[in-house]
């Protein structure tokens, strides 16, 4: 398995605090069958300002330690960037990192809002040659309340990534239900851990994929697995025609 969203680099955000924490996370990931992790430290989320070169350096250092400790895992660089108006400029200047130096770029929304300029920024990113990947939309209160917002973004070319723990029901039943609806409506394209540690925010990627297979079948299971590989290789990913989620259905009113 490939995990495209993980806070495994030590001491730079709210993920692993020390190199020992990183190694524990790496061991846990390997035990789950994860072979490759995209390190995605936070950027511009109000607390952390990690930049591309530092992420690359941290990735190289962690890979050296993993090799020394004989842990069968490879870390590649990425970033989880909170949406801001200068994202494209940051990409051009080499401050914002894409995922494994591909066209794919993580875009994070605040948990309780979707900025008004989002539609234009996602469009401008694509014009500039990037493909925005909206992370954990199933945990955004505005998108939960108004799923048509996400439908429009995906219809216009954006991709999305759901958290494994969301599908596994570890956040709430409502988030689990909405995550499954996103899969059913072809409004998400990747599954990832968003792991921060081995305790409260662990990987759960194996369980997430198991739930994906149980609820949506082999086709979805293999498509999501393949999409992770296609992403880190910089290839075009599999995507189906998106469908609208009806808010009333989500709230259980029909």
**pLDDT single digits (tens) 229-248:** 999 999 999 999 999 997 65
CA–CA gap between residue 140 and residue 159 (Å, rounded): 15
The Cα-based distances of 48 to 51, 129, 237 in angstroms read 10, 26, 30
Say if CB 179 and CB 162 are below 8 A apart. Answer: yes
Beta bridge partners of 107: 81, 134
Number of domains the chain contains: 1
- CATH code for the domain in which residue 133 is found: 3.20.20.140
* pLDDT of 252 over the 60 cut: no
pTM: 0.94
* Nearest in space to 158 (alpha carbons), one of 134, 136, 127: 134
The number of beta carbons lying within 10 Å of the beta carbon of residue 69 is: 11
Domain interval for residue 231: 2-250
pLDDT in tens, 115-168: 999 999 999 999 999 999 999 999 999 999 999 999 999 999 999 999 999 999
Q: Whole-number mean pLDDT of the chain?
A: 95
When pLDDT is averaged across residues 93-113 and rounded to a whole number, the result is: 96
CA–CA gap between residue 189 and residue 200 (Å, rounded): 25
């Amino acid at each position: 398995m490939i995990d495209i969203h993980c806070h495994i680099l030590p001491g730079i955000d709210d993920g692993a605090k020390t190199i020992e924490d990183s190694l524990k996370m790496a061991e846990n990931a390997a035990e789950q069958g994860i072979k490759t992790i995209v390190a995605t430290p936070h950027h511009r989320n109000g607390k952390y300002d990690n930049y591309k070169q530092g992420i690359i350096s941290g990735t190289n250092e962690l890979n050296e330690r993993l090799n020394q400790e004989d842990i069968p895992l490879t870390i590649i660089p990425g970033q989880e960037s909170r949406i801001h108006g200068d994202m494209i400029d940051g990409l051009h200047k080499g401050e914002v990192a894409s995922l494994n130096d591909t066209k794919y770029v993580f875009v994070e929304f605040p948990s309780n809002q979707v900025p008004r300029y989002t539609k234009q920024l996602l469009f401008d990113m694509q014009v500039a040659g990037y493909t925005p990947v909206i992370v954990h939309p199933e945990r955004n209160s505005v998108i939960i309340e108004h799923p048509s917002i996400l439908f429009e973004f995906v219809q216009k070319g954006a991709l999305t990534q759901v958290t494994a723990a969301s599908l596994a029901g570890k956040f709430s039943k409502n988030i689990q239900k909405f995550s499954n609806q996103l899969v059913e409506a072809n409004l998400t394209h990747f599954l990832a851990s968003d792991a921060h540690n081995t305790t409260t925010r662990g990987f759960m990627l194996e369980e997430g994929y198991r739930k994906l297979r149980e609820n949506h079948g082999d086709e979805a299971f293999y498509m999501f697995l393949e999409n992770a590989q296609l992403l880190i290789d910089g290839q075009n990913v599999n995507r189906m025609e998106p469908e609208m989620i009806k808010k009333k259905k989500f709230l259980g009113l029909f």
